[in-house]
Structure 1
Amino acid sequence: MNEFYYLDISLKLAAEPDQLLPVYFKSCLEQALVRIFGEIGGQTTVDLLKFDTKQARAIVRVPSNIYVKLRSAIALIGQFQDIPCSFVVHKAGPLLLALVETHLEF
């Protein structure tokens, strides 16, 4: 079994944020995990492999045992920097190569 899962995620915002930086994007995902699963259950490594500020889209890598937790946490995120939002997972899989088709749309 593969160690990691890769996700192609985009952020849909109701308005323009003050700053859309990769660190804020990653922090939003990590905070959602902690909010839902607690300090211990939410502690994990979320790696941001690629981030496109203009499209608010990222390629994220997480340990495979956290994948389901991250998908749950993403579904429950409703705000980004106090702006109503939603996250869309375009593609996910245990191989980074599986995202190539979507990655080319970046």
Structure 2
Amino acid sequence: MKMKELDCSHWYLDIEMDYGSDLDLLMAVDILKFFMLSAVKTMFGEVAASSTLDILKFDEEERRAIVRVPSENYAKFRAALTMCSAVRLDKDVFPFIFTIKQASSCLLSLTGPQRIIT
């Protein structure tokens, strides 16, 4: 009996953000989405940054977000966030680091325990 293959049209990422206290008052879902897309735009250009990006959950206190991206843009999106060290807002540049805690093609698997490599 052959198992049914799942259609992985999206990838889900559990992302932790580290940024200075200057952005505490400004941080919102729309601004976070802008920062993520600007990181992709900086590394891969306008076409890659025009892809869809959905922030499913955002926790300001823990500085974490659950994000959904299309499978065809997952590698570029993850690479851009990994390489990002600062974001530009108007004329100011703020240190901003994205850490990808977990990634999966199934949203449910993000609820399980994390695997820590030592």
Task: Write the distance in 2 (CA, Å) between the matches of 1:32 and 1:78.
Answer: 9
Which residue among 47, 51, 61 is the counterpart of 2:54? 47
Question: What secondary structure sits across from 1:99 in the alignment?
Answer: helix
Note the residue ranges of structure 1 that are not aligned, 5 or more in a row. Answer: none
- Structure with the larger RCO, 1 or 2 (CA within 8 Å, 6+ apart): 1
SS at 1:60 equivalent: strand
* Unaligned residue ranges in structure 2 (runs of 5+): 1-6, 114-118
Correspondence for 2:31: 24
Residues 33, 43 of structure 1: 8 Å contact kept: no
Runs (4+) of structure 1 exceeding 4 A deviation are none
TM-score, normalised relative to structure 2: 0.79
Between the aligned residues of both structures, percent identity stands at 32
Helix, strand or coil at the partner of 2:21: coil
Deviation at 1:31, TM superposition (A): 1.1
Amino acid at match of 1:2: C
What is the one-letter code of the residue matched to 1:39? E
Task: Return the TM-score normalized by structure 1.
Answer: 0.87
